[in-house]
């Protein structure tokens, strides 16, 4: 799973997940499209500048497939019933306080309201 803060929307986000390091560059850094994608000649690995071990660009289809995969993973993590529940549950401290003041049944009632609001199916 990627750790993007926002939903990936650009091929550059897919490219950084295909290989490690700065293995690619753009012929036009303002217009970052596949047609302007190039391999770097050199790159830093373990503190040394070396010839880029990547010898071929991924195809445009491979890059777009990777972007779609990252978007699907992000959607699952950030727009699923689990993520919606996670955002709405009280903090652990508040849940423990709820148990202390209202018992396990009271706590279950609080949690059930969120579970019912964002059901699995």
Q: What is the DSSP letter of 48?
A: E
Global pTM value: 0.66
CA angle 38, 40, 44 (to 5 degrees): 150
d(CA 17, CA 54): 14
Q: What is the pLDDT of residues 16-63, one digit of tens each?
A: 999 999 999 999 999 999 999 999 999 998 889 999 999 999 999 999
């Amino acid at each position: 799973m990627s750790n993007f803060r926002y939903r990936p929307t650009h091929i550059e986000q897919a490219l950084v997940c295909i290989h490690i390091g700065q293995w690619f560059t753009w012929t036009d850094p303002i217009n970052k499209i596949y047609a302007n994608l190039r391999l770097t000649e050199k790159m830093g690995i373990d503190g040394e500048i070396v010839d880029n071990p990547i010898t071929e660009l991924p195809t445009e289809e491979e890059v777009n497939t990777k972007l779609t995969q990252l978007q699907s993973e992000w959607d699952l993590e950030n727009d699923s019933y689990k993520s919606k529940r996670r955002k709405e549950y009280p903090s652990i401290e508040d849940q423990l306080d709820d148990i202390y003041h209202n018992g396990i049944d009271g706590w279950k009632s609080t949690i059930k309201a969120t579970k019912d609001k964002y059901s699995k199916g």
